[in-house]
Amino acid sequence: MLWLTALGKLTAGWLAAWLLSRAGLHLTLRLVGNSKDRRQVVRTTVQALMLFSWTAVAVWAWDTVP
């Protein structure tokens, strides 16, 4: 039963992280404007933050398993 809870946490956490990153990326790109360099920096930063957030969610979900 705890495995199902962990799987649910993992799925929900990754979905929430993905949705927040997409919304944050869209909002930030609108604020940055049309500069290619700035847009690339924003995209790279969001990708790095996504890697960190997915890892944090995996650790949070794994903590449920005994």
Asked if 1 and 63 touch (Cβ cutoff 8 Å), the reply is no
Asked if 55 and 63 touch (Cβ cutoff 8 Å), the reply is no
Q: What is the pLDDT of residue 35?
A: 87
pLDDT band at 64 (very low <50, low <70, confident <90, very high): confident
Token pair of 61 as six digits: 């979900």
Pairwise CA distance, residues 1 & 24, whole Å = 34
Q: What is the pLDDT of residue 10?
A: 92
List pLDDT tens digits, range 33-60.
888 999 999 999 999 999 999 999 999 9
Asked if 10 and 64 touch (Cβ cutoff 8 Å), the reply is no
